[in-house]
Structure 1
Amino acid sequence: MKALIGLAAAAVLALTAGGIKAAIPGGPTGPEPTEGAATRVRVTAVVDGDTIRVETLGGRQLGRVRLLGIDAPEVAHPPTPAECYADQATDLLEELAPVGSTVQLVTDSGQPDRDRYDRLLRYVDHDDVDVAHELLARGAARRYEAAQDLAREDSYAAAADDAQEAPRGLWGTC
C-alpha cells in the first residue's frame, strides 16, 4: 500500500511539474512568445529612458508605457541622484519617439499587460524603427534581465551585445 501511495504521489508530482513547465511561454514544451495587437497612439511625454506617456489618437489618456525588454539608467529621484547616462537615455528616447508623434504599441504574448507600477508593457515602434532596439544598439539601455521571454529577444540580445563590445553609450561612459 505504501508503494502504491508513493507511486501515485510521484505521478502527481511529475504531472504538476510537467504542467508548470508546459505553461511557461517559450519553455521546452511551451509556445514561443509572439507579437500581438498593435495600437496607434500619440506620445504626450517622455518620462525617462524607458517610459513614455501616451494618449489615443482621439485624445483619451492611456497613461505610462514601459518599453519591453530594456532597462535604462534611472533619472534623479531626490534625494537620489540620476544614474550615469540617464539624461542621455532620456534625450535619445525623446529623439526616437518625440512628443506629439504617432507610435505603434505592440503587445507580446510572453509578457503581462502591465507591470507592478500599472504601466502598460509594450514594444514601441516609430517610423518603422523599434525604439527599444535602437536604445540598446546605441548603448542607452541594458536588456531587462527579468524579461528574456520576448518575441524580439534575439535581436535585442544582439543589439545589446554589440553596444557593450563597441563600447557605445553607457558602456563607454559609465
Structure 2
Amino acid sequence: MKALIGLAAAAILALTAGGIKAALPGAQTGHDSAEGKTTQVRVTAVVDGDTIRVETRGGRQLGRVRLLGIDAPEVAHPPEPAECYSDQATDLLEELAPVGSTVELVTDTAQPNRDRYDRLLRYVDHDGHDVAREFLARGAARRFEADQALAREESYSAAADDAQGAERGLWGTC
C-alpha cells in the first residue's frame, strides 16, 4: 500500500510540475502524459500560418504538418482573398520554424493522427519552444477547438486569452 501511495504521489508531482512549466508565459515545452511520440524532422517549406512541409533527417518527404491547437488566418485561395493577418502569420511561422531548421513533431494521444486534408497533426517544437503557443501569445492565430482536449490545452488557452485581452496581433488589427 505504501509503495502504491508513493507511486501515485510521484505521478501527481510529475504531472503538476509539467503543467506548471507549460503554463508559464514564454515557457519552454513540457511533455505531458497525453503527449506521445516525438520525432525530429527538417522543415522544407512553410505553407501558411499553421502548416509546414517536412522531411526526415535522412531526406524522406513526410508531407504537410498542421500545428495542433491553432487556426491561423487563411492565405488566398482564389477566388477567395487572403484573410486579415495571414501574411503576418505566415511570416511568423517562417521565423519560428525556419526552412532548413530541425524541429520536433510531438503527437497528442487524444488527437487524430491526420486531418481531413491528410496533414499530420502535431505539436511543433523548435529550440525547446512550442511554436503554436508562441503564435497564440503573439495573437497570430486563434485557438482551434478540437473534439478532445489537447495535452497543452491549459497553456494554449492562457496564451490566447492574454493576447486577445491585450489586443495583440490579429486581435488589434482585424
Matches within 5 A, 1:118-129: 118-129=118-129
- Quickly say closer, same or farther: Cα 1:148–1:171, change in 2 above 3 A: farther
Instruction: Report the equivalent of 1:87.
Output: 87
CA distance in 2, matches of 1:148, 1:83: 27
CA distance in 2, matches of 1:151, 1:33: 8
Indicate if the aligned counterparts of 1:106 and 1:123 stay in contact, CA closer than 8 A.
yes
Aligned-partner SS, 1:98: coil
Matches within 5 A, 1:13-92: 34-92=34-92
- Structure 1 runs of 4+ with >3 Å offset: none
Deviation of 1:59 (Å): 0.2
* Structure 1: gaps spanning 5 or more residues: 1-31
Q: Which amino acid aligns with 2:61?
A: Q
Q: Using structure 2 for the length normalisation, give the TM-score.
A: 0.80
* Structure 2: gaps spanning 5 or more residues: 1-31
Deviations 1:45-69 (A, max 9, x none): 0000000000000000000000000
Aligned-partner SS, 2:62: strand
Instruction: Report the equivalent of 2:137.
Output: 137
Aligned-partner SS, 1:156: helix
Deviation of 1:79 (Å): 1.1
Instruction: Report the equivalent of 1:13.
Output: none
CA distance in 1, matches of 2:33, 2:168: 29
Aligned-partner SS, 2:89: helix
Please say if 1:173 is aligned against 2:167.
Answer: no
Matches within 5 A, 1:112-123: 112-123=112-123
Aligned-partner SS, 1:135: helix
Q: Using structure 1 for the length normalisation, give the TM-score.
A: 0.80
Larger radius of gyration: 1
Please say if 1:154 is aligned against 2:134.
Answer: no
Number of equivalent positions = 143
Indicate if the aligned counterparts of 2:67 and 2:123 stay in contact, CA closer than 8 A.
yes
CA distance in 2, matches of 1:158, 1:39: 26
Aligned-partner SS, 1:112: coil
Q: Which amino acid aligns with 2:141?
A: A
- Quickly say closer, same or farther: Cα 1:147–1:172, change in 2 above 3 A: farther
Deviations 1:61-112 (A, max 9, x none): 0000000000000000111100000000000000000000000000001100
Q: Which amino acid aligns with 2:109?
A: S
Aligned-partner SS, 2:75: coil
